Amino acid sequence: MPRDRLYPTQDARARGRLAVEPPHEIYWEEGGNPEGVPVCFLHGGPGAGTSPGHRRFFDPSHYRVVLHDQRGAGRSIPSAAVEKNDTQRLIADIEALRRHLGIERWIVFGGSWGSSLALAYAEAHPDRVIALVLRGVFLCRHSEVEWFLHGMGRFFPEAHAAFLGFLPEGERTDPLAAYYRRLIDPDPQVHGPAATAWSRYEAECSTLLPNRDSVQSITRSEVALPLARLEAHYFVNALFLEEGELLAKADRLAGIPGAIVQGRYDVVCPPVSAHDLAAVWPDVRLTLVPDAGHSATEPGIAIGLVNAMERFKTLR
């Protein structure tokens, strides 16, 4: 496998929906080698969903790659639903899917919010995790949420001005509450424009260089609403975790090998979180990509993730 590209896009070999807790059914699919080392891919957001391109980080001759859309995201139903949607339930869904597919242990791979969920899952079920591969680490701390809402504007002032400018002037001091009220409103004329404004802000801050395709993709209505509504839902509920919980429980990762691939200029999830995690997890290798931001589609990030999975081919 050349170390300068991703693997070709592969079709899913199997797919389905798993009923987890009414009204939720989570979509899943798997590809690659049915006898290979299992990998659980966790998407970001919350609410971003998966795509076939997410299998391109993994050698299909070696890995059995399982993708699933978390509650309310992607092809899971009902779409954009906040009812019975929290971190602990998402962890339970991962376990339900593992049992449904007859998998004993797997490598867990996640970026952004997916890194948070991967850590939370590994800390709850360390015996089920062969290794962790994380990108754009987000530790769910209050400071990180505040950075998303306000701090990113220090580097992307135009995007932040548009994000706040969507709201009436009197509501701009608390944009999370103002957006959340609109995003959970059942009227598409209310939640639709708010979802587009929220998602555009995130997309415009996610890459080192402007990426028009990325912005257009994430602001499509069927993508924007689950992403924006679920992110806001998790943010207003402190990600359903105690402050600092993921770092406080990092001792549970002892013995689990890990790889962190982090963009040096990641403005959405700044590198300090990856640094803080690596400081308390001796079994991890932190790779700072010098010419990348947040997105997994940036060349240096993508190749770093492929290389991490190549190194972990020795694990079973």
Judge if 169 and 100 occupy the same domain.
Answer: no
Q: Is the pLDDT of residue 81 over 80?
A: yes
239, 268, 292 — which closes off a domain? 239
Query: Is position 9 within any domain?
Result: no
HEC string for 160-228: HHHHHHCCCHHHCCCHHHHHHHHHCCCCHHHHHHHHHHHHHHHHHCCCCCCCHHHHHHHCCHHHHHHHH
Q: What angle do CA 294, 297, 299 make, to 5 degrees?
A: 95
- pLDDT tens across 14-72, in order? 999 999 999 999 999 999 999 999 999 999 999 999 999 999 999 999 999 999 999 99
* CA–CA distance, 184 with 257 (Å, rounded to integer): 40
- Do 255 and 296 belong together in one domain? yes
- Report the candidate in 159, 155, 148, 143 with the shortest Cα–Cα distance to residue 197: 159
In angstroms, the CA 287 to CA 299 distance is 14
Are 50 and 131 members of one domain? yes
Among 239, 265, 286, identify where a domain stops.
Answer: 239
Pair (274, 195) in one structural domain? no
Residue 151 sits in which domain range? 143-239
Check: CB of residue 66 under 8 Å from CB of residue 14.
no
* 47 & 78 share domain: yes
Tens digit of each residue's pLDDT (9 = 90 or more) over 288-302: 999 999 999 999 999
Do 278 and 131 lie in one domain? The reply is yes
The answer to whether position 91 is within a domain reads yes
Note whether residue 2 is domain-resident: no
Q: Check whether 1 has a pLDDT greater than 60.
A: no
Phi-psi region of 244 (alpha: psi -120 to 50; beta: other; left: phi over 0): left
96 and 68, same structural domain? yes
Out of 95-99, 162-166, 206-210, least confident range: 206-210
Q: CB–CB of 25/42 below 8 Å?
A: no
Give how many domains the chain has, as a whole number: 2
- Residue 174 domain-assigned (yes or no): yes
Cite the active site residues.
112, 266, 294
